[in-house]
Amino acid sequence: MQETPQNLAGKCAIVTGGSRGIGRAVVLELARRGANIVFSYAGNAAAAEETRASAAALGVEVRAVKANATDPAAAPALVDAAKELGGVDILVNNAGITRDKLAARMSAEDFEAVIATNLTGAFLMTKAVLRPMMRARAGAIVNLSSVVGLRGNAGQANYAASKAGLIGLTKSIAREVAGAGIRVNAVAPGFIATDMTDAMPEAAREATLAQIPAGRLGAPEDVAHAIAFLVSDDAAYITGQVLAIDGGMSM
């Protein structure tokens, strides 16, 4: 097997929602490339500890912090933890939830809860890292959008709005900070096998699978590899972009 490049050695990355699924794969991939990691989780302490130990076994410093993306104190706490590991070079806004229902039946609370976690949480986290990144005149941020943010999806008006919102956030902030050496990109995964998609009814899974030219679900690692590229210096001239990682689903 090819050796993973140590191209993030000495850097420190914050990953929100790193305990499970895509966030966990991102934590492990960035750690494999030499980055120290601070990751947040909402409440699943057992999963967080498993991810922390697996990443630490790769020989880097890792901190797991229980910090809800909707809590205004979460972002400063994660930045402080990163400063203890040398600063904040990379941010991956990954924490996300779904509360699916057709719009006619969706409560305002369900709409707002998804926007608060997926979109406002990413804004608060980004705002908190920009000052140290601007001081360093360097930094890379990746936001987890979704194919649903590009195409919409029946039953996911709240989720689609949050993921489309993240694209506007990505492009606006990318324009604001490009001159300061900070890059901001988004990825738009398609159907990735995690706890989030396990919760889908079987018929909906089958229907989605039929729309994927590659003929398979994505793995969390498929997303993590693309994010590891986007936060590395190999992507030094890429900013404000949305990279679909979806087996061709959105083309």
Q: Which residues bind ligand NAP (CB under 6 A)?
A: 16-23, 40-44, 47, 68-70, 94-97, 117, 144, 146, 189, 191-192, 194-197
Closer to ligand NAP by Cβ: residue 88 or 97: 97
- SS3 of residue 38 by DSSP: strand
Closer to ligand NAP by Cβ: residue 121 or 139: 121
> How many other CB atoms are there within 10 angstroms of residue 104's CB atom?
6
Is residue 237 part of the annotated active site? The answer reads no
| Distance, CA of 194 to CA of 44 (rounded, Å) | 15
* Backbone region of residue 97 per phi and psi (left: phi > 0; alpha: psi in -120 to 50; beta: other values): beta
Minimum gap (Å) between residue 248 Cβ and ligand NAP: 15
| Distance, CA of 93 to CA of 132 (rounded, Å) | 17
Q: Do 231 and 92 form a contact (C-beta atoms < 8 A)?
A: yes
Closer to ligand NAP by Cβ: residue 36 or 156: 156
Q: Do 6 and 59 form a contact (C-beta atoms < 8 A)?
A: no
Among the listed residues 36, 159, 170, 185, the single catalytic one is 159
Q: Do 151 and 216 form a contact (C-beta atoms < 8 A)?
A: no
Closer to ligand NAP by Cβ: residue 210 or 233: 210
Q: Which letter, b or e, does each residue of 83-98 get, where b requires 16 or more Cβ atoms within 10 Å of its Cβ?
A: eebebbbbbbbbbbbb
Active-site positions? 159
